[in-house]
Amino acid sequence: MEKTPPFRRLRGYAFDPSLSLKIDTVSINNICYKIEWEDLDESPSGNGKTVPTGEYIEVIDCDPATGVFYPPVDLNDRYLLAQDGLEPSVSDPQFHQQMVYVVLMTTIKNFEAALGRKIQWSQRYVPKPDDTSKIERSEFVARLRVYPHALRQANAYYDPQKKALLFGYFPAQRSRPELQLPGGNVFTCLSHDIIAHEVTHALLDGLHKRYIEPTHPDTRAFHEAFADMVALFQHFTFPEVLKHQVAKTGGDLAAQNLLGQLAQEFGKAIGGYGSLRDAIGHTDKLTGNWVPHDPDPNEYTTKMEFHDRGAILVAAVFDAFLSIYKQRIKKLLRIATNGSGILPKGDLHPDMVTLLSGYAADTASRVLKICVRALDYCPPIDINFGDYLRAIITADFDMVADDEHNYRIAFIEAFQKRGIYPSGIKSMSVEALTYEQYPEITLRGDDAEIFVDFLRRFKEQVAYLKDREEIHTITQEFIRGGRNAHMGLHSRINVKFLNTEVGKRFAELTGMAYPNTANKCKEMGMDYSTSSHTAKYSVENLWMANRVSPDGKIINDVIITMVQKRGVKASIKDGVFNIDGYYQPSEGDVEGGFIFRGGCTLIFDLDTMDLKYAIKKDINDKLRMERQFRYMNGRFKASASAGYFDEETLTGLSGPFAFMHSHH
Please write down the HEC assignment for all residues of 221-238.
HHHHHHHHHHHHHHHHHC
Q: Is residue 634 over pLDDT 90? A: no
User: What value does the mean pLDDT take over residues 99-124?
Assistant: 95
Residue 654: CB atoms within 10 A of its CB come to 8
User: What value does the mean pLDDT take over residues 171-197?
Assistant: 78
Q: Is residue 542 over pLDDT 90? A: yes
Kind of pairing between the strands at 156-159 and 164-171: antiparallel
User: What value does the mean pLDDT take over residues 448-465?
Assistant: 80
Kind of pairing between the strands at 261-262 and 185-187: unpaired
Alpha-carbon dihedral angle through residues 34, 38, 41, 43, given to the nearest 10 degrees: -100
pLDDT tens, 548-604? 887 778 888 899 999 999 889 999 998 899 999 888 777 667 788 999 999 999 998
Residue 649, pLDDT score: 30
Residue 317, pLDDT score: 95
Residue 40, pLDDT score: 86
Measured CA distances, 243 to 26, 133, 334, 349, 607 (Å) = 14, 54, 20, 11, 43
Dmax (CA) for the chain in angstroms is: 79
pLDDT band, very low/low/confident/very high, at 660 (cuts 50, 70, 90): very low
The whole-chain average pLDDT of the chain stands at 83
3-state secondary structure 123-160: CEEEEECCEEEEEEEEECCCCEEEEEEEECCCCEEEEC
pLDDT tens, 301-322? 999 888 899 999 999 999 999 9
Residue 490, pLDDT score: 82
Distance CA(471)–CA(468), nearest Å, equals: 5
Q: Is residue 205 over pLDDT 70? A: yes
Residue 658, pLDDT score: 28
Give the residue ranges of DSSP H helices in 428-524.
Answer: 430-433, 452-462, 468-480, 489-497, 501-510, 518-523
pLDDT band, very low/low/confident/very high, at 534 (cuts 50, 70, 90): very low
Q: Is residue 530 over pLDDT 90? A: no
pTM over 0.85: yes
User: Closest by alpha carbon to 99, among 117, 120, 73, 81?
Assistant: 73
Q: Is residue 325 over pLDDT 90? A: yes
Residue 272, pLDDT score: 59
User: What value does the mean pLDDT take over residues 30-56?
Assistant: 77
Distance CA(433)–CA(426), nearest Å, equals: 9
Residue 661, pLDDT score: 54
pLDDT band, very low/low/confident/very high, at 252 (cuts 50, 70, 90): confident
Distance CA(509)–CA(618), nearest Å, equals: 9
Residue 271, pLDDT score: 60
Who has greater pLDDT, 159 or 306? 159
Q: Is residue 284 over pLDDT 60? A: yes
User: What value does the mean pLDDT take over residues 170-199?
Assistant: 80
Q: Are the C-beta atoms of residues 187 and 172 closer than 8 Å to each other?
A: no
- % residues pLDDT > 90 (the chain): 49
pLDDT band, very low/low/confident/very high, at 627 (cuts 50, 70, 90): very high
Give the lowest-confidence range in 117-121, 245-249, 585-589.
585-589
Bridge partners, residue 613, by sequence: 603
pLDDT band, very low/low/confident/very high, at 648 (cuts 50, 70, 90): very low
Residue 71: CB atoms within 10 A of its CB come to 11
Kind of pairing between the strands at 554-573 and 50-53: unpaired
Residue 174, pLDDT score: 65
User: Closest by alpha carbon to 380, among 511, 489, 523, 470?
Assistant: 511
pLDDT tens, 489-507? 888 777 776 666 767 777 8
Q: Is residue 651 over pLDDT 50? A: no
Which stretch, 178-182, 290-294, 307-311, 643-647, has highest mean pLDDT? 307-311
Q: Is residue 654 over pLDDT 60? A: no
- % residues pLDDT > 70 (the chain): 83
Distance CA(248)–CA(32), nearest Å, equals: 22
Which stretch, 59-63, 96-100, 336-340, 434-438, has highest mean pLDDT? 96-100
User: Closest by alpha carbon to 372, among 545, 235, 220, 540?
Assistant: 545
pLDDT band, very low/low/confident/very high, at 525 (cuts 50, 70, 90): low
Residue 11, pLDDT score: 96
Give the lowest-confidence range in 19-33, 346-360, 640-654.
640-654
Contacts of residue 88, defined as CB under 8 A and 6 or more positions apart, other chains included, come to 11, 12, 13, 17, 20, 30, 95, 99
pLDDT band, very low/low/confident/very high, at 389 (cuts 50, 70, 90): very high
Kind of pairing between the strands at 554-573 and 576-583: antiparallel
pLDDT band, very low/low/confident/very high, at 101 (cuts 50, 70, 90): very high
Contacts of residue 459, defined as CB under 8 A and 6 or more positions apart, other chains included, come to 544, 556, 558, 606
Q: Is residue 447 over pLDDT 60? A: no
Q: What angle do CA 648, 391, 480 make, to 5 degrees?
A: 110
User: What value does the mean pLDDT take over residues 292-306?
Assistant: 88
pLDDT band, very low/low/confident/very high, at 449 (cuts 50, 70, 90): low
